[in-house]
Structure 1
Amino acid sequence: MSLKIGIVMDPIDGINYKKDSSLAMLWAAQQKGWEIWYMEQKHLFLSDGKARAKMAPLSVAMDPEAFFTRGEYQIEDLSSLDVILMRKDPPFDNEFLYSTQLLAMAETEGTMIVNRTQSLRDFNEKLFATHFPQCCPPLIVTQDEALLRAFHAEHKDVIFKPLDGMGGASIFRIKEDGVNLGVIIETLTEHGQQTIMAQKYLPEIVNGDKRILMIDGEAVPYALARVPMAGETRGNLAAGGRGEGRELTDRDRWICEQVSATLKEKGLLFVGLDVIGDYLTEINVTSPTCIRELDNQFGLDIGMQLMNAIEEKRNIT
């Protein structure tokens, strides 16, 4: 089955050839013989009631010196594409919101958006995990300083983090002595105007923050444990963490089972679960990464698994 597949991503000129997950997806799409069309968020627009884009034909290669060739941009309806991968990195700001609304117009005309636009809007990556309280550590989501202080007093060792961060940005650990508690709460909540999350510190972070990739509700059998640098509490690779591949544990598989049906129901075809110790901490729905690291360590082809799932969905519909 030949498909026309588009991708909305950050500028391809600036991606990391060795690590980029979107590139792995494009390799797989090309291997299937599909047409690939490239777009950045700025290229999406609305005209005469139609969602359109300046898009360019793209070919990719497994060559670090010349890994893509982009043709001339042309204006086309988004609905002319069979599938669009929405791979723009956070932040989830107004521009991201507008992009999902434009993509939704193509969705209503039969274009498959991965992931479904309504679900991208509905599910904040940190709050989404709280839909499965049986999987989560003790936490609170609020902008109220008194509640945040009470949570710290109860749990003694606490992580404070914004709801819209990525890559470990602006994550703070406050130990029992409470040093800098007040200023951190003031800074993150913008003096009570911004909602944040406080979460009980999980000492298992020293063994890594595991990223589990799920395709149409099924878990890839290996996770990438992102192990913090010495002196760090963040395992994110963007914060200097080291990636170690590991087979899923029984607890990991149980967590995946808890969320699987919801992911399928909401059209979240490709997501990344973050698990520390026995607990689910995030469900990443915008542009999950770690494909390349897992492919390299275990001889997988996760990009192709995703393309096969997309092909199956298109055949069904």
Structure 2
Amino acid sequence: MKIAFIINDHKTEKPNYTTPALGYAAYKRGHEVYFIGVGELAYASRGHLSVRCKSVKDKKFNSQETYFKAVQNQEFSTITSEDLEVLFLRNNPADEINERDWAQNAAFIFGEIAMRNGVIVLNHPKSLAGAVNKMYFQHFPEILRPKTIVTRDHLEIKEFFKEQKQKMILKPLQGSGGTNVFMMDKKNEHNLTQTIDAICRDGFVIAQEYLTEATKGDTRLFLMNGEPLQVNGKYAMMQRVNASGDIRSNIHAGGKPQPVKITDQIMKLADIVRPKLVQDGMFLVGIDIVGDKLMEINVFSPGGLNVIGEMYEEDFATPVIESIEKKVYYKSMYTDYLLNSKLATL
């Protein structure tokens, strides 16, 4: 199998991230693996995707870290969509905000070109285009979500603040990793106007009900093909505990990962989100849960799979690659009969 992963940039991708873990799992299974930065995408005159990429071949490595460092040290080579069977879109558009705005939409735009050339593209690029901000989350059943408004109107936000008994979360519509997330209450109400202004500079504001269970952090669960990912009875999930005095649970924002057991409540949440994820061709996603509510659905580059693997001493990356291998097999059997959106979650 020839598989390529799109990342934000070779310089910023760290060897211990989830995408290198997936690439290393594919490499160990004998596949040709390529890594492509968003800025290395191109459209060739013959109507196909053309990219500069990095790859290693015919070498043995003891860990994903040594593997990916070797990848990063390689010179660029060029491949086209005619050379690929799978393109896995693993870049995070939110990381490009105010830095490389042109890069936010690039991966799924070029992904659609690759898809037309017969490449399996994961997650489904047309659905990713509609999920580039947190508004995608609002398309899931209301029973799953905290009370939320999305607006740029100060008065609406302040009225919502009163309705929530002067305690709520403010965050930008676009963004990830806990950036510009604020908990507003009576103590800092005097900063409410300035906080709204600061978030508004980058677009719309999400005002959200504060859940008291958030003091315990949140739970990240990986779903693959719409189902909770598990190996040997252990689920790809972790509790992300807030750093002291911080409402953000993201690992990059200082949250600490801890083991956590699956519950009937979490399984019910996963079951409710499954139909839409499958319909949208969302192959691998991370859902973040607080109490009995879904806080976020990360469909672009959910991280932490390697952390979870180390925590439970299980390999969660290999089943992901095995599932992709099956998709390549199904496509070879059905040629043009299976749509990418369907194939993505088979």
TM-score by length of 2: 0.85
Partner of residue 33, structure 1: 30
Structure 1 stretch displaced more, 49-58 or 97-106: 49-58
- Listed as ranges, the gaps of 5+ residues in structure 1 are none
Partner of residue 128, structure 1: 136
Partner of residue 215, structure 1: 224
Q: 2-side partners of 1:288 and 1:141: how far apart? A: 23
Q: Secondary structure at the match of 1:300?
A: coil
Q: 1-side partners of 2:84 and 2:199: how far apart? A: 41
| One-letter code aligned to 1:187 | A
Partner of residue 105, structure 1: 113
1:293 to 307, 321, 324: 307
Q: Structure 1 residue 118 and structure 2 residue 129: aligned?
A: no
1:195-225 Cα deviation digits (max 9, x unpaired): 1111011121121111111111111224211
Q: Secondary structure at the match of 1:180?
A: helix
Aligned Cα root-mean-square deviation (Å):
1.9
2:194 to 174, 183, 186: 183
Aligned-residue sequence identity (percent) comes to: 26
Q: 1-side partners of 2:221 and 2:64: how far apart? A: 27
| Residue 7 of structure 1, CA deviation | 1.3
Partner of residue 20, structure 1: 17
| Residue 277 of structure 1, CA deviation | 1.4
| Residue 171 of structure 1, CA deviation | 0.5
| One-letter code aligned to 1:293 | V
Return closer, same or farther for 1:4/1:64 CA change in 2, 3 Å cut-off: closer
Partner of residue 164, structure 1: 174
Q: Secondary structure at the match of 1:179?
A: helix
Q: Secondary structure at the match of 1:312?
A: helix
Q: Secondary structure at the match of 1:110?
A: coil
Q: 2-side partners of 1:309 and 1:196: how far apart? A: 37
Return closer, same or farther for 1:99/1:64 CA change in 2, 3 Å cut-off: closer
1:243-263 Cα deviation digits (max 9, x unpaired): 112112211111100111211
Partner of residue 93, structure 2: 90
| One-letter code aligned to 2:79 | E
Q: 2-side partners of 1:273 and 1:296: how far apart? A: 20
Q: 2-side partners of 1:310 and 1:137: how far apart? A: 34
1:41-84 Cα deviation digits (max 9, x unpaired): 11111121332111233357334773333444332212420011
Size of the aligned set, in residue pairs, is 312
* Preserved CA contact (<8 Å) 2:48 2:117: no
Equivalences for residues 1-317 of structure 1 within 5 A: 3-12=1-10, 14-17=12-15, 19-48=16-45, 49-59=47-57, 61-63=61-63, 66-68=66-68, 69-70=70-71, 71-91=74-94, 93-124=101-132, 126-132=134-140, 133-155=142-164, 156-177=166-187, 178-190=189-201, 194-220=203-229, 221-317=235-331
| Residue 169 of structure 1, CA deviation | 0.6
Q: 1-side partners of 2:256 and 2:246: how far apart? A: 12
* Preserved CA contact (<8 Å) 2:127 2:281: yes
| Residue 16 of structure 1, CA deviation | 3.6
Return closer, same or farther for 1:261/1:58 CA change in 2, 3 Å cut-off: farther
Q: Secondary structure at the match of 2:190?
A: coil
* Preserved CA contact (<8 Å) 1:90 1:166: no
Structure with the higher strand share, 1 or 2: 1
- Listed as ranges, the gaps of 5+ residues in structure 2 are 230-234, 332-346
